[in-house]
Amino acid sequence: MSLASHLDELQRKHGDIEREIDDAMNHPSVDDLEIVNLKRRKLALKDEIEKLRAKRTTH
């Protein structure tokens, strides 16, 4: 997988998780821990995206 397509996939996943968080926050029955875990996953993806972007610009 090329770096560009990998970045695209990570950005897609980041957006998917963002929508999951929005949906979860609109449903009072969703456990707060689940929302926290989603936010952690989103942040981890963001960090990975930023690392790959930095790597792409240094090459």
Alpha-carbon distance 49 to 32, whole Å? 26
Q: What is the pLDDT of residue 57?
A: 84
> Splitting the chain (59 residues) into consecutive groups of 10 residues, what average pLDDT does each group show?
91 98 93 96 98 86
Q: What is the pLDDT of residue 28?
A: 86
Q: What is the pLDDT of residue 58?
A: 80
Q: What is the pLDDT of residue 59?
A: 66
Task: Enumerate the domain spans of the chain.
Answer: 3-58
Q: What is the pLDDT of residue 37?
A: 98
Nearby residues of 4 by Cβ (< 8 Å), 6 or more positions away: 56
Alpha-carbon distance 39 to 50, whole Å? 16
